[in-house]
Amino acid sequence: MNIDVHILTLPNSNRKYLAKAIASLQHDPVNLYIVPGVAGDIGSGRMMGFCHGIAPYVSFVDEDDLVELGAFSRISDAIVENPDCAFYTNEILIDSDGNKIGDGFSKDPTPFKGNRGLHLAQVPGQPGKYMHHLVCYPRVSLAGLDLSNAERFSPETTINNHVAKTAKFVELPFVGYRWRIHSGNSSSHLWK
């Protein structure tokens, strides 16, 4: 099963990182859409991205990050077993050169709590569990989604709470994503 995946770009996007993000998806079952984002309003960009394609599941990748080889294949397998669920994986943190600098925060979000510049989202209905990427949603669960009042730089909590009205979130027990921490993103100060 293919999954519709969008990557938002901005005029100041690092083209080298974007090329690597695209390359990290080339062997997975995805329909990839490169979508011009709205500067200062990730929510509007996400809404445009979710409108692309017709696959029953949708996801997104940030332009400066990487997806682990086979991650979407494994998510597709999970969809077959649980077709009405939303899925998320854990991640590792990498530096600007792609070297691992830390683990994701699904088990320990302490360094990330309270930082409004990060895309930190609590897993709906699962106290103490957090996610960032990789998240995959049933397209039907996005019906009626309104991000006009969402946090402009971090709409993921609004998206996840909306999806949770019709879909259960399931954590898949593998690392599916590499979150790049660099001087051009809002989380770089956490790792200096």
Measure the CA–CA gap between 105 and 137, rounded to whole angstroms.
20
Measure the CA–CA gap between 28 and 101, rounded to whole angstroms.
25
pLDDT tens per residue, range 35-81: 998 887 888 889 999 999 999 999 999 999 999 999 999 999 999 99
Q: Return the exposure string of 29-51: e unless at least 16 CB atoms fall within 10 Å of the residue's CB, then b.
A: ebebbebebbeebbbbbbbbbbe
Cis check for the bond before 145: say yes or no (omega within 30 of 0): no
Measure the CA–CA gap between 185 and 98, rounded to whole angstroms.
15
179 phi, psi to nearest 5 deg: -90, 115
pLDDT tens per residue, range 155-170: 888 898 899 999 999 9
What's the whole-number mean pLDDT along residues 87-110? 78
Q: Above 50 in pLDDT, residue 3?
A: yes
Looking at residue 189, what is its pLDDT?
Answer: 35
77: enclosing H helix or E strand: helix 71-81
Looking at residue 151, what is its pLDDT?
Answer: 67
pTM for this entry: 0.86
Please count the other Cβ atoms lying within 10 Å of the Cβ belonging to residue 160. Answer: 21
Architecture of domain 3-191: Alpha-Beta Complex (3.90)
Q: Is 171 left (phi over 0), alpha (psi -120 to 50) or beta?
A: beta
Looking at residue 110, what is its pLDDT?
Answer: 47
Of residues 79, 54, 58, 46, the one with CA closest to residue 168:
79
Looking at residue 120, what is its pLDDT?
Answer: 56
Q: Where are the domains of the chain?
A: 3-191
Measure the CA–CA gap between 156 and 26, rounded to whole angstroms.
25
